[in-house]
């Protein structure tokens, strides 16, 4: 069976990413991962067709939003209930 996971290194030229995705139609989603200053990670899974349509916005850093569920609030969200 062929490789099931493809990775693209940070700072890969946009044209190379477009070429890779078009050469591999079996790839259906792109997962963008970010790490905050405290080391907490979050990722956003985006359909390839939307990623390619909005690739300029992704490169400008304006196309990804999360729902806030990845925010880590030690002692608040994980602490004992005070009801």
Longest dimension (CA), the chain: 55
Q: Which two tokens stand for residue 58?
A: 């992704």
pLDDT score at 29 = 92
Q: Which two tokens stand for residue 23?
A: 């050469």
Q: Please check the confidence at residue 5 and state whether its pLDDT lies above 60.
A: yes
pLDDT score at 2 = 59
SS3 83: coil
- CA–chain centroid gap for 13, Å, is 17
pLDDT score at 81 = 54
What is the mean predicted confidence (pLDDT) over 16-26?
92
pLDDT score at 76 = 56
What is the mean predicted confidence (pLDDT) over 59-64?
69
Among candidate residues 24, 27, 18, 14, the one with its CA nearest the CA of residue 59: 14
pLDDT score at 55 = 87
- Match 């990845």 to its residue by tokens: 70
């Amino acid at each position: 069976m062929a490789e099931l996971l493809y990775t693209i290194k940070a700072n890969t030229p946009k044209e190379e990413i477009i070429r890779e995705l078009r050469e591999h139609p079996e790839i259906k989603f792109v997962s963008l991962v970010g790490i905050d200053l405290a080391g907490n990670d979050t990722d956003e899974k985006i359909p390839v067709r939307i990623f390619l349509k909005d690739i300029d916005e992704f490169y400008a850093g304006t196309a990804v939003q999360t729902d806030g569920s990845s925010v880590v609030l030690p002692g608040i969200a994980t602490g004992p209930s005070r009801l």
